[in-house]
Structure 1
Amino acid sequence: MSQGTLLQKIGQLFGVGVVAGVLVAALALPAVGGLGITARNIATGFLNMPSELETPPPPQRSTIYDQNGDVIAEIYDQNRELVKLDDMAPVMQDAIIAIEDNRFYEHGGLDVPGTFRAALRTAGGDTQGGSSLTQQYVKNVLVESATTQAEQEEARETTLSRKIRELRYAIALEQKMSKDEILEGYLNIAYFGDGAYGAQSAAQHFFGVDADELEIQQAAMLAGLVRYPYLYNPSVNPDNAKKRRDVVLDAMVQNDAITKKEAEEAKGKDLNLDLSNPSNGCMPSDQPFFCDYVVQEIEKSKQFGENETERARWLRTAGLEIHTTLDGDMQEAAQEAVDKWVPRKNQSRKVAAEVLVEPGTGEIRAMAQSRNYGPDENNRGETSINFTTGIDRGGSTGFQVGSTFKPITLAAALDQGKGFSTSFGGGGSTTVTGQRNCDGGRLPPWDVSNASESSGGNYNMITGTQQSANTFFAQLQADVGLCETIEMAQKLGLERGDGTSFDNENTQANNSFTLGSEEVAIIDLVSAYATFASGGTYCEPQAITSIEDQQAGETIDVENECERVIDKDVADGVTYLLSNTFDGGTTDGLEIGRPAAAKTGTTDGNAAASFSGFTPNLAGSVWVGDPRGPQAHPLRGVTLGGRSYGVVYGATIPGPIWEETMSEAVKGLPEESLPKAPSKFGGSGGSGSRSNASPANSEGGVPNVVGQEQDAAVRELEEAGFEVSVASNRIQSDEPRGSVAAVNPDPGSTLPEGATVNVFLSSGGGGNGGD
């Protein structure tokens, strides 16, 4: 009988615990023999040590999925995917046992011969390991479960006390867990180098296969890595890796796991690495800014943990399966559109940002911007800031969005019972006085003008919205009340991008609130438009639908947070008004082939431009500007995407981005009609812009009086049931001097009875400008 077999038998006869105590004594006596401590005393003390070891699942990677189950990103501290022992190739199990603990299935947690050899050599001054797989598993568990730096250091220290503690835990663990359970735990927790933890991740990283697909030579190479992962790393030291692999193959032969012939065949094969790294974090993702938003949602929401540190650790270690609202096709359409019109590395450093949201749920379908995701803002075309969201979700402090804010004033006016025929005059410019903030403070007089001198005359809600007349909206806001308009914005979920309210006592909103002078997050703006599309139900923007926690064995469902904030008639009224912008208004020419409603926006001095619009089942908002500061770097004299622009308006770049995105995005959605214009506001009961391409001279529309003399034109318009306002200033036109050069809205536009039609007379000469 060999010495090793004899020692193992002794352990079985007298109890592993007693033998372990003697072995501990043998290891310890060289250091403490002078103190007179006996082997028996040490053995007794060993058996009295704490033995209960918690074995929580080791850290593993979390995965973020889009709506269709495609991977957006993987987030982890350690690249690990847990699998069952049955999902690991038998040769992988055989290889690790052969090289690390060839009597694994025979001992009770302590390899007696190996430990005796280690004891004798340690006594001679040559420190040896002799650890069983169970002991190694214990060590890894202690390291991975450490939550403080001190615990980490204690678990890794090269001291006798650590070895004794691990040995006591190992013996107790063998009484609680089966051998297969211990082997499964070890193969899932061991580090194989190159950032790969566990056999599954190692197989995927080094060979591009799952652990159950490993061949003999592959399993042998992986098993050889765990002793010294860097020394035998095949991507750094291939010769060392191959030699170590062959050592493992010989050990497998000695352990009767494979035949000598199989080993020789395996040795004759090259390493044949297929190195691949899972994308850790949002930077390598194709949807990095949405990924970042999801991460922010988890880390900032108290639903997922008591504090941000705890939530961040949970995200990176719990092996979560995070299911999101992102639609891959819509995201692709949005990204292509923003990149086309505002290339990522454009010389002028402008950026386009876009968000798509589903009305009635708040679910984010796309989130794109024309930037690469990266930490260095000095690199042109790179940023880690999400320009679509506010500072509370890792974004910016918001941007001015110009006239896309005007629908808020429309909603406030309709909410007060004002009708579509509400009208104001004043020509191309006017002065508004008497406005007060929410504290009752009187604001100074406000001089406001339209985009061009030709846009004077009287406007009602329909024509004022179509032409985006600043003078009309300034007077409408004054009539409704600035504070009431602010309150409507807050109902619709809007606040400043920096998280403060519009009526904050230190930063009171000013006269030009209706013109979009406040800096807001694009995601909040699109959510407001989605509220109109849903018939008055506001929903918090939502990126996550559910999270499967693999470690806890539970699924967290994330509910949509929605509530009705305005009456359906008010929402439908705003929708009707915005649908008319496609009929000769500022959004004309940006049709998407199905019913839609939209509004352009251009900030003062063309600093930035925006566009927001929706169908009944999808809303989208686009912002274009310079994140360094739009006022200092306006959209004037810029070249983007190979095109030169003297001035950029909301319909110049944001509009086409929205049109191209929405045209693709809605293809998979059912076509739905817009709601009818509420009769209570003076609507005719019809829906606006049914196909975004109403024919001219349609029955009941604005008569075509272009070219007629003034009196004849006014008479025909009045007979058709419209109020008429003749502009005092004349415009250049090919029509005879003094005749009608143009009407606003255009001929054929459908208006409620009593609506105002603006008539412009010709000065002759030809040519015209616009907003």
Structure 2
Amino acid sequence: MRKTDGLLKLVGLCLLAGGLVAGLLFPVVGGLGVMSNEASATVDNMSAELANDPPPLVTTITDANDEPIATLYDQYRIPKAGDQISDAMKWALISVEDRRFYEHHGVDWKGTVRAAITNQTSGDTQGASTLTQQYVKNYLINVVHGGDDPEDRIGQQRAREQTIARKLQEARIAIQLENRMSKEQILTGYLNVVEFTHEIYGVGAAARSYFDTEAEDLTVAESALLAGMVINPAMHDPWNYPERAKERRDLVIDLMVQNRKLSEEDAEEAKEEPLGVVADGPNRPPANCTGAGPEHGFFCQYVEDYLIESGIDKQDLYQGGYTIKTTLERDVNRSAKESAEEQVDKTEDNVANTLSLVRPGKERREVVALAANKDYGTDPEKGQSSWALPSAVTNVTGAGSAYKIFTAAAALREGVTGVYDEIDVPDRHVSEVFVSKQPQCPPLNQYGDKKYCVTNAEGAEFPSKLTLQDALAQSPNTAFVILAEKAGMGNIVELASKLGMRRSMARNDAGAEPDPESDNRALAVSQKELFGPSGNSPGLGSFTLGPAALSGLELANVGATILSDGVWCPPTPIREVVDRNGDTVEIEEEECEQAVEEDVAHALADGLSKDHLPGGTAHRAASEADWGERPMIGKTGTTQNNSSGAFLGATPQLSGGAMVFRPDRPNGGLCYNGPGNVHACDADEGTMFGGRTPAQTWFGAMSEILDGADEKPIPETPGPYRNVKDE
């Protein structure tokens, strides 16, 4: 090399080093880019955030007794104060990452210039970042851009760029940060932010996940292993690369000796220790509702869905460090789960059996259990499902005759009949009000394509007249279609919504959000619009036979509304939401309202009070569970082709909606061959009824849940609703 060439290179490197120093103090111009006043303000804001804003934390969901059931997080982190982290951990990190940490003021000038010269004269890349600068970088990657959307990924990429401009901004923030925070605060902040692989962030979570210990109890060997990982966590993963992890750990131990924080004798002993990590990977809790386990996962999922719909952003929910205190009663939920699984095996393909339980009340409507025969999880081969089976609008084939409740409610409210008035029960009824393009009784062309024809269940025999109370217990189809003609479908669909089926009625016939672009009206409009009066149409008489998609939780809430003097309240799984600072977060919930007059609710309750007694469709299930004569209301339902069944049952203490249905391939039937022997079958082979699996599930759970509880009466029918003359 000529002397002039060497001299020029030396001058260039000196200028580069000078530019780096100057860039920390003044705006950068020319090839390094322009740092405007706006950019400087960004630096100020960022240093303030680092000094004051905590990183993402774990949200904890508890049961009604404040016992945790699940954690939600994007980053598993357990924050620790400085005095909760062992000195061994602190000195291990300083020794390997920034031995001059207590000497510099955010930027190590000697190291920065040396790294800049080396990077320019060779193919190697040296960072020379201090712990303060690394804190800035990790904060940008893991906190500011800690999400998973495209903008966050771009931000993470920029924070990792090996450019002088990025290094300058990082250094300026570090300098300002050292004026706002003490060295101990910076070191603690870094140890709470840094990543340790497997979604584990911060030394508190790492101590538990790697060694099943606390950060304050970390030994030299444990601390050295963790400190050695921060440069490249994936590369030094002790489970995937144990030899590489040990080599790095031992290097950190040697550096602690060089830094005079560990004796040579103690260092040799520490290097003789095994890695000591827990077996089979890090011991961290699941990051979502799978952590609630097979029993409580469906409830946890409902809590998450409920809070997001109430206005909490999902990323905030997973990073905000909330404590979600719920209404889940574990023992009640466990009984519901056991009963559901006793009736239908969890591994049975395409058969879901659910039970949702809520407590009646005129000020709050607490959900206490959401259970299914399926376990909550992601492996269908093991009988798992992550669909919100008990709470969402998942049963698309309907609740069958359970919807006769709404026809009875409208008939009572509109003065069509009283609870003890007799109503007509023909074997077949051809409607002069409702129409149908597909008549339901043969011969198909006997009444033309505009008449709605209905028959009673095959093989069922009824007297020609029944009181409304007996009709609700025995469930003849024709009687309720006749009542629907007189009460008006507008009143019926209105009361279905008001009494509890609000979300279900707002969905389309397939249980989804209405799609106005669809050519199929059943998919284009809500159920309320589809089945209710429209233009010259009086509505669809089939609604009273329950063919519409529904939520089992909402069905349970109908019973609670009836036994709460006609007061509807939104079902809620939330007792309180507390933020990371211990302050209560207000959740927007709908207010309770009087859905029907109290007298109408009492009359309807009395009308529904005989289903479990001799002659009622649920009597056999009640007898098998030794229910006795405990007062209750109930209504069974079975859909066309026996493709699903439902049972709404309620006592003054608890209301439940039980459903069995085909969640994956809804077209077809369900075959019942006794408890535990239910399977999907062809439509013409179905033998399922609401009085079988659904009622058996309800009584099996409730007889155990209410064992020893007081027997409370069902309201009696007020005088004006006992007998009404049919004009």
Whether TM exceeds 0.5 here: the answer is yes
Contact 2:62 2:68 in 1 (8 A): yes
Match of 1:300 in 2: 309
Equivalent residue of 1:353, what SS? strand
What code does the residue aligned with 1:587 have? A
| Contact 2:80/2:204 (8 A) holds in 1 | yes
Amino acid at match of 1:357: V
Give how far 1:420 is off.
Answer: 1.7
Between 1:639-648 and 1:416-425, the stretch displaced more is 639-648
Deviations 1:271-306 (A, max 9, x none): 2221313202234541333333223223333x32xx
Q: Distance in 2 between matches of 1:649 and 1:381?
A: 23
Q: Is the 8 A contact 1:76 1:317 kept in 2?
A: yes
Is structure 2 residue 542 aligned with structure 1 residue 512? yes
**Aligned partner of 1:84: which letter?**
A
TM norm structure 2: 0.80
Residue in structure 2 matching 1:84, options 81, 86, 105: 81
Alignment of 1:404-423 (within 5 A): 404-417=402-415, 418-423=417-422
- Between the aligned partners of 1:184 and 1:592, the Cα distance in structure 2 is 61
3-state SS, counterpart of residue 324 of structure 2? strand
User: How far is 1:403 from its partner?
Assistant: 1.4
The match for 1:766 is: none
Contact 2:20/2:113 (8 A) holds in 1: no
1:658 partnered with 2:704: no
Q: Which has the larger displacement, 46-55 or 230-239?
A: 46-55
Residue deviations 1:687-720 (CA, integer Å, cap 9, x gap): xxxxxxxxxxxxxxxxxxxxxxxxxxxxxxxxxx
Matching residue's letter, 1:244: R
Q: Which residue of 1 aligns with 2:374?
A: 371
Amino acid at match of 1:355: S
Q: Name which structure has the greater RCO, CA cutoff 8 Å, separation 6+.
A: 2
Q: Give the whole-Å Cα distance in 2 for the aligned partners of 1:30 and 1:47.
A: 26
Read off the aligned partner of 1:313 and give its amino acid letter.
Q
Instruction: Tell me by how many angstroms 1:41 deviates.
Output: 6.3
Match of 2:224 among 220, 225, 238: 220
State yes or no: 1:312 paired with 2:337: no
Deviations 1:6-28 (A, max 9, x none): xxxxxxxxxxxxxxxxxxxxxxx
- Look up the match of 1:321: 323
Q: What does 1:329-728 align with in structure 2 at a 5 Å threshold? A: 329-346=331-348, 349-360=350-361, 361-373=364-376, 381-390=383-392, 395-396=393-394, 398-417=396-415, 418-435=417-434, 444-450=451-457, 452-494=459-501, 495=505, 496=507, 497-499=511-513, 501-504=526-529, 509-550=539-580, 555-557=585-587, 559=589, 561-584=591-614, 585-589=616-620, 590=622, 592=627, 594-630=630-666, 632-636=667-671, 641-642=676-677, 647-667=687-707, 671=710, 673-681=712-720
Alpha-carbon distance between aligned partners in 2 of 1:479 and 1:222, rounded to the nearest angstrom: 76
Aligned residues of 1:326 and 1:365 also touching (Cα < 8 A): yes
How many Å apart are 1:419 and its aligned residue? 2.0
Instruction: Return the offset for 1:251.
Output: 2.8
Q: Tell whether the 8 Å contact from 2:428 to 2:453 is kept in structure 1 after alignment.
A: no
Say whether 1:245 aligns with 2:249: yes
Between the aligned residues of both structures, percent identity stands at 34
1:398–1:498 contact (8 Å) kept in structure 2: no
Give the secondary structure class of the aligned counterpart of 1:252: helix
Write the letter of the residue equivalent to 1:87.
Answer: Q
Q: Secondary structure at the match of 1:289?
A: helix
- 5+ unaligned residues in a row in structure 2: which ranges? 1-6, 28-39, 146-150, 437-448, 514-524, 534-538, 680-684
Instruction: Give 1:48's match in structure 2, choosing from 15, 19, 26.
Output: 26
Residue of structure 1 aligned with 2:63, choices 38, 62, 66: 66
1:378-416 deviations in Å (ceiling 9; x for gaps): x584544323344xxxx5373310111112122222223
The whole-number CA distance in structure 2 between the counterparts of 1:519 and 1:165 is 57
1:635 partner letter:
L
**Offset of 1:421 from its aligned partner?**
2.1
Q: Partner of 2:173 in structure 1?
A: 169
Q: Deviations over 1:324-347 (max 9, x none)?
A: 222222221222222221112225
Which AA in structure 1 matches 2:422? S
Question: Which protein is richer in helix relative to its size?
Answer: 2
Deviations 1:544-574 (A, max 9, x none): 3333332796633555632121122221222
- Name the counterpart of 2:517: none
- Cα distance between partner residues in 2 of 1:206 and 1:503: 55
Separation in 1 of the partners of 2:299 and 2:96? 45
Say whether residues 1:231 and 2:235 are aligned partners.
Answer: yes
Compute the displacement of 1:120 (Å): 5.2
C-alpha separation in 2, matches of 1:208 and 1:73:
19
Q: Report the 3-state secondary structure (helix = DSSP H, G, I; strand = E; otherwise coil) of the residue aligned with 2:461.
A: helix
AA partner of residue 420 (structure 1): V
Q: Distance in 2 between matches of 1:88 and 1:542?
A: 40
Counterpart-to-counterpart distance in 1, 2:10 and 2:655? 76
Q: C-alpha deviations, 1:176-233, integer Å up to 9, x for none? A: 1111211111001111223311111111211122323323322221111112212221
Cα gap change, 1:119 to 1:427, in 2 (>3 Å): closer
From 128, 140, 143, give the equivalent of 2:141.
143
Q: Tell me if structure 1 keeps the 8 A contact 2:454–2:478.
A: no
SS of 1:513 mapped into structure 2: helix
Distance in 2 (alpha carbons) for counterparts of 1:396 and 1:337: 20
Maintained 8 Å contact 2:454/2:477 = no
Question: How many angstroms does 1:243 deviate by?
Answer: 2.5
Distance in 2, matches of 1:328 and 1:114, equals 58
Shift in Å at residue 514 of structure 1?
A: 1.7
- How much is the aligned-residue C-alpha RMSD, in angstroms? 3.2
Distance in 1 (CA, whole Å) between partners of 2:9 and 2:584 is 50
- What is the CA–CA distance in structure 2 between the aligned matches of 1:647 and 1:48, rounded to whole Å? 82
CA contact (8 A) 2:327 2:367 kept: yes
1:733-757 Cα offsets, whole Å, 9 max, x none, are xxxxxxxxxxxxxxxxxxx999xxx
Q: Which has the larger radius of gyration?
A: 1
Distance change (3 Å), C-alpha of 1:80 and 1:35: closer
- Distance in 1, matches of 2:9 and 2:485, equals 90
